[in-house]
Structures are given as structure tokens and as C-alpha cells.
């Protein structure tokens, strides 16, 4: 007798339930190899099902190798290997992945263990998030975007489900070229490569240039992800300190002369983490120094479009007469990170090389999200969204700066007012001799921040923290600053208290 307990109220289709039950009977040994199952007709009658439901289930069981089917005879259970033991925490194999991994890969794991788990999961409640550089989801035009994605799938048809070119979707490349033009960069579509976000662009550039002993100039502090990535690719970093006006160009000049770096990596606009944007003169001198040394510049314009205070300096790439600048842009910091779409603008020859490297490691980017984004841009939704982001963050940043000024005593901290973007780099003054663990202190008061030392190779800076307002509205910002002020006032009160009684 052959009994299957099916549940016709379950959301799982009945044919799938049959498959699961029969599989379980076979795996448990209840049904043995060679044993015959009822015919399709018989089982359908027994269970009160349509014959096609049973036929579909048997077809799938056959294709999974559980049963054999021959015309004119009932299906029977196939000889089948036993399944290897289940995994999970306890399962131990004979390989030691730590020992097998290369040195550079171990560096990446160590970094991941230190920092990788910081990103708050979606919808997590907890402290107010001034740590992440995600975008406030409430501002994203989800319905418009969905309409565009639909339209793109309808218009382009199954072609969008095929492999595409490693350079990316041509219409989007054309749109981005036009967009770069608005920032003063005269790029053509051939000079644009679509990437899986700015970090992916950086990785491709490093893949192109990596060779033993090569060095890369970075600002210090710099984008946290880039430091382990440089080491992974075998580069040594040359850290050039950030001053109030940007990277110290005298130090850079000496490094270019004495250390022959292969690349200068820089964020001239809304530098991460300091928020500094360099001026025209700084940009021109940087270009001239690197041009003379014939060293390419990787310009990370991750927040280029967030110039909502209108104090505009154009990207290095716009003045790149020598064509030494590789520009990395992204849609992650204005539209949304979740698309994982960015771009590189560079010489066509350089673009083709990066495309070859992308192809070797993942063939091509998905066309679907590219076509959806193109539709979003083509309809003017991107422009409208950008304006909304500008209006909103002009207000939010103004509020942030006003509240910081009002509630944080100059005895506790100091900061520079950014020209746009999402970041404020706060220099905290110690209360007494010992520097507290700032991340811990603020977390205890319900605010997540990123400690400054994360942005240095050496990790030596214990006086700064990075505040991001990218996911917060004005009420949340006000509450976060209130909490920060409370933490700092408490700290400094304890200090003076301690002094009084010491």
C-alpha cells in the first residue's frame, strides 16, 4: 500500500507535495530500490487527483533520478547514492581552508571579520544609523522605477535575458556619457564601462595594474574598502595625509618623485570620510603633478552628483587634457545602492582592457537592471529624483550643521562644514587622559557611527568619527545629535567631576 499525506490547503502545489513525499519515502528507505510505484492512473484515482498532476510529479522524480520509467510498466525506484551528511556548524571536512587560502586572501578575511558585519541588515531596528552610506529608502521612487523595469522588459523582450556585452548596455553607456558631459567631461559611449558599482570599478582598475612591488598613493584617511583591496592585489599603499584643502600635494610630489607609484587614488569631491572637497587650484596642481610623472589618477566621484549647496568644482576628469584620469562613478549614492550599477569613464583603450578583465571574471553584467535604469533616466525620472535629493539633503545637512553647532560644545568636538554629500567628520576632544572607545560610547547612547581609525591603514586615529546622514530624516538627525550631545556632555561632566575629586 502506498499512502501520501497531501495537504490541499497548503500553498505548495500538489505535484510538488507528491515529489517531496516520495523523495522522503525513498530517502528514509521505506521505498526500496526496484520497488514499483502505482501507475499514474492508479495513484490519481487513489488520491482524487488529476492524472496530469501525478504525471508531472513522476516526470520530475524521474528527472531528479529517484525513479525509472519505461513505457508500459509502472515506475520503479532507482539505485541511488546515499546523500552525504548534512552540513551546519558541526560538520567538519578534511580541509583546512585557512591553510589553503593565499596570504592576500587571508588579509581580506581578517578585514571582513573586523568590519564585514557592520552593515545593519534590512529593516533592523536598533541604534540610529549614522554609520552606513545607504540611501534613505523613503526617498526612492520605487513605483516609477518598477514601471521603468516593466517597460524595459516589455520593450526589449527576451533579448534582455541573454548574455550582453562586457562593456554594458549601450543605451545606458550613451546616457552616462551625456551625464558626464554635464559635469564638464567630454566622454563618448565608447569611453564608458558599466560596473557593478564604484568599488567594482576600483577592483577592475587594480586588476589591470597589479604587479609585485607596485605602489598606490591613497589619501589618509581614505575609503575603507580600498585599503584591504590594495593589499589583496599586492600593492603597497603610500599614505598622503589629508589637509583642510585636500591631499597634501607637497608630500604627493615627493612620493611621485621618490617612489614611482603606479596609481594615485583620490576622492576630490566629498572625500570619504572627511567630506572635504578640494578647490580648483588643488585640482589643477594634482593633475599637473601626475601628468608630469605620467602616473594615472583614479578619481572616485562616488558622491559627485550630491553638490546640493551649489558650490561646484568640476571633476578632475573634466580638465584631463593629458587623459590620465580614470573616473569611477556610481548610481549607489544618489539613486540606490541596490542596483549595483556604476561606471568607469576613461580612455577607450583603457575601457576595453577593463572590459576584458570584467569578461574574464564574470562574462557580462545583467542587462535587465541596466535597461530598467536607462528607461528611468530616459524618462527624466532620474533628473527629478536628483532634484528631490538635492532639495531634501540641502535641508537635512543644513539642519544637521545647525543642530551640531547648537548642541555640541566646541570643548567637546570640532568639525568642518561640507559642501554637500552625506558626511561629517567630527574631531572629538578627549575627556581626561584616556581616549574612550567612541563607537561603543555612542552605541550605548543609541547611535551607530564609524570610528575614524577604520579609514587608515595604521588605524592610529582615535580622535575622529564619521557621521553619515544618508538614511535619516530631520527628526532622526535631531534625535541622533541629541544623543551624541548627551554622551559627550556626560563624558565631560564625569571628567570635570573626576578632576574635582582627584
Question: Contacts with its own copies in 161-180 (CB under 8 A)?
Answer: 161-166
CB 140 within 8 A of CB 335: yes
Of the candidate residues 363, 411, 435, 498, the single one contacting its own copies (CB under 8 A):
363
**215 Rama class: left (phi>0) / alpha (psi -120 to 50) / beta:** beta
Count the alpha carbons within 13 Å of 43 in the hemisphere toward its beta carbon: 25
Whole-angstrom distance, CA of residue 224 vs CA of residue 78 = 54
Shortest Cβ 120–its own copies spacing (Å)? 10
- How many residues belong to the site for its own copies (CB under 8 A)? 144
Whole-angstrom distance, CA of residue 199 vs CA of residue 218 = 15
CB 315 within 8 A of CB 269: yes
Site for its own copies in 366-395 (CB under 8 A): 366-369, 380, 383, 386-387, 390
Per CB under 8 A, does 9 bind its own copies? no
Shortest Cβ 157–its own copies spacing (Å)? 7
Whole-angstrom distance, CA of residue 72 vs CA of residue 347 = 67
Interface segment toward its own copies; rule CB under 8 A; list 183-191, 252-260, 265-273, 438-446: 183-191
Written as nine digits, the cell of 254 is 615627493
Of the candidate residues 6, 76, 208, 253, the single one contacting its own copies (CB under 8 A):
208
Shortest Cβ 2–its own copies spacing (Å)? 21
CB 239 within 8 A of CB 456: yes
Per CB under 8 A, does 86 bind its own copies? yes
Interface segment toward its own copies; rule CB under 8 A; list 138-146, 246-254, 402-410, 425-433: 138-146
Is the bond preceding residue 273 a cis peptide, omega within 30 degrees?
yes
The alpha carbon torsion through 471, 475, 477, 480 (nearest 10 deg) reads: -110
Count the alpha carbons within 13 Å of 311 in the hemisphere toward its beta carbon: 14
Of the candidate residues 29, 48, 321, 410, the single one contacting its own copies (CB under 8 A):
321
Of the candidate residues 54, 77, 267, 339, the single one contacting its own copies (CB under 8 A):
339
Per CB under 8 A, does 6 bind its own copies? no
Site for its own copies in 42-81 (CB under 8 A): 56, 59-60, 62-65, 68-69, 78, 80-81
Shortest Cβ 295–its own copies spacing (Å)? 9
Of the candidate residues 1, 3, 28, 83, the single one contacting its own copies (CB under 8 A):
83
Residue 65 is given by DSSP the state T
Shortest Cβ 136–its own copies spacing (Å)? 9
Whole-angstrom distance, CA of residue 344 vs CA of residue 448 = 32
Whole-angstrom distance, CA of residue 160 vs CA of residue 113 = 37
- DSSP labels for 451-499? EGGGGSSS----SEEEEE-TT--HHHHHHHHHHHHHHHHHHHHHHHHHH
Nearer to its own copies, 129 or 239 (CB): 129
Per CB under 8 A, does 454 bind its own copies? no
Per CB under 8 A, does 446 bind its own copies? no
> What number of other Cβ atoms are within 10 A of residue 278's Cβ?
23
Interface segment toward its own copies; rule CB under 8 A; list 28-36, 142-150, 246-254, 431-439: 142-150
Shortest Cβ 107–its own copies spacing (Å)? 9
Please calculate the CA angle 493-468-490 and round it to the nearest 5 degrees. 10
The total number of residues written for the chain in this structure: 502
Interface segment toward its own copies; rule CB under 8 A; list 89-97, 396-404, 435-443, 493-501: 89-97
Nearer to its own copies, 180 or 404 (CB): 180
Per CB under 8 A, does 279 bind its own copies? no
Per CB under 8 A, does 40 bind its own copies? no
SS (H, E, C) 300-357: ECCCCCCCCCCCCCCCHHHHCCCCCEEEEEECCCCCCHHHCCEEEECCHHHHHHHHHH
Per CB under 8 A, does 483 bind its own copies? no
Site for its own copies in 103-122 (CB under 8 A): 103-105, 108-109, 111-113, 116, 119, 121-122
Of the candidate residues 6, 44, 76, 149, the single one contacting its own copies (CB under 8 A):
149
Per CB under 8 A, does 246 bind its own copies? no
Whole-angstrom distance, CA of residue 219 vs CA of residue 264 = 9
Q: Per-residue string for binding with its own copies, 415-444, x by CB under 8 A?
A: ------------------------------
Shortest Cβ 462–its own copies spacing (Å)? 25
Nearer to its own copies, 96 or 433 (CB): 96
- Rg over CA atoms, the chain: 29
Per CB under 8 A, does 41 bind its own copies? no
For the chain, counts of helices (H) and of strands (E)? 16, 16
Shortest Cβ 449–its own copies spacing (Å)? 18
Shortest Cβ 448–its own copies spacing (Å)? 15
For the chain, the farthest-separated pair of C-alpha atoms sits apart, in whole angstroms, at 97
Site for its own copies in 247-276 (CB under 8 A): 262
Per CB under 8 A, does 213 bind its own copies? no
Amino acid at each position: 500500500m502506498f499512502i501520501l499525506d497531501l495537504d490541499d490547503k497548503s500553498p505548495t502545489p500538489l505535484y510538488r507535495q507528491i515529489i517531496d513525499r516520495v523523495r522522503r519515502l525513498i530517502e528514509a528507505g521505506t521505498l526500496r530500490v526496484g520497488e514499483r510505484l502505482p501507475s499514474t492512473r492508479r495513484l490519481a484515482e487513489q488520491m482524487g487527483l488529476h492524472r496530469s498532476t501525478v504525471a508531472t510529479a513522476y516526470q520530475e522524480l524521474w528527472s531528479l533520478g529517484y525513479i525509472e520509467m519505461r513505457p508500459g510498466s509502472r515506475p520503479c525506484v532507482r539505485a541511488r547514492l546515499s546523500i552525504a551528511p548534512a552540513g551546519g556548524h558541526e560538520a567538519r571536512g578534511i580541509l583546512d581552508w585557512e591553510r589553503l587560502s593565499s596570504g592576500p586572501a587571508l588579509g581580506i578575511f581578517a578585514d571582513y571579520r573586523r568590519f564585514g558585519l557592520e552593515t545593519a541588515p534590512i529593516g533592523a531596528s536598533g541604534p540610529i544609523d549614522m554609520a552606513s552610506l545607504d540611501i534613505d529608502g523613503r526617498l526612492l521612487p520605487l513605483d516609477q522605477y518598477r514601471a521603468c523595469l516593466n517597460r524595459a522588459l516589455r520593450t526589449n523582450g527576451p533579448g534582455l535575458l541573454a548574455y550582453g556585452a562586457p562593456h554594458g548596455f549601450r543605451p545606458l553607456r550613451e546616457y552616462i556619457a551625456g551625464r558626464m558631459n554635464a559635469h564638464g567631461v567630454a566622454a563618448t559611449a565608447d569611453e564608458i564601462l558599466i560596473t557593478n558599482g564604484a568599488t567594482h570599478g576600483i577592483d577592475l582598475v587594480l586588476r589591470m595594474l597589479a604587479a609585485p612591488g607596485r605602489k598606490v598613493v591613497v589619501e589618509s584617511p581614505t575609503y575603507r574598502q580600498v585599503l584591504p583591496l590594495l593589499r589583496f592585489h599586492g600593492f603597497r599603499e603610500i599614505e598622503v595625509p589629508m589637509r583642510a584643502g585636500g591631499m597634501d600635494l607637497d608630500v604627493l610630489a615627493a612620493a611621485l618623485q621618490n617612489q614611482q607609484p603606479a596609481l594615485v587614488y583620490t576622492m576630490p569631491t566629498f572625500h570619504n570620510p572627511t567630506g572635504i572637497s578640494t578647490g580648483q587650484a588643488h585640482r589643477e596642481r594634482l593633475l599637473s603633478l601626475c601628468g608630469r610623472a605620467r602616473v594615472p589618477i583614479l578619481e572616485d566621484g562616488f558622491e559627485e552628483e550630491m553638490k546640493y549647496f551649489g558650490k561646484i568644482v568640476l571633476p578632475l576628469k573634466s580638465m584631463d587634457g593629458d587623459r590620465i584620469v580614470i573616473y569611477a562613478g556610481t548610481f549607489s549614492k544618489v539613486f540606490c545602492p541596490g542596483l549595483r550599477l556604476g561606471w568607469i569613464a576613461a580612455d577607450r583603450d583603457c575601457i576595453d582592457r577593463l572590459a576584458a578583465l570584467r569578461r574574464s571574471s564574470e562574462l557580462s553584467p545583467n542587462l535587465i537592471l541596466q535597461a530598467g535604469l536607462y528607461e528611468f533616466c530616459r524618462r527624466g525620472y532620474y533628473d527629478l529624483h536628483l532634484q528631490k535629493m538635492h532639495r531634501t539633503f540641502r535641508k537635512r545637512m543644513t539642519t544637521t550643521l545647525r543642530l551640531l553647532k547648537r548642541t555640541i560644545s566646541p570643548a567637546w568636538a570640532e568639525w568642518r562644514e561640507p559642501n554637500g554629500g552625506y558626511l561629517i567628520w567630527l574631531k572629538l576632544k578627549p575627556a581626561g587622559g584616556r581616549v574612550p572607545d567612541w563607537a561603543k560610547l555612542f552605541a550605548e547612547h543609541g547611535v551607530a557611527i564609524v570610528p575614524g581609525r577604520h579609514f587608515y591603514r595604521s588605524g592610529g586615529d582615535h580622535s575622529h568619527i564619521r557621521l553619515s546622514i544618508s538614511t535619516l530624516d530631520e527628526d532622526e538627525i535631531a534625535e541622533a545629535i541629541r544623543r551624541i550631545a548627551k554622551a559627550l556632555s556626560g563624558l565631560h561632566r564625569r571628567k570635570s567631576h573626576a578632576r574635582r575629586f582627584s
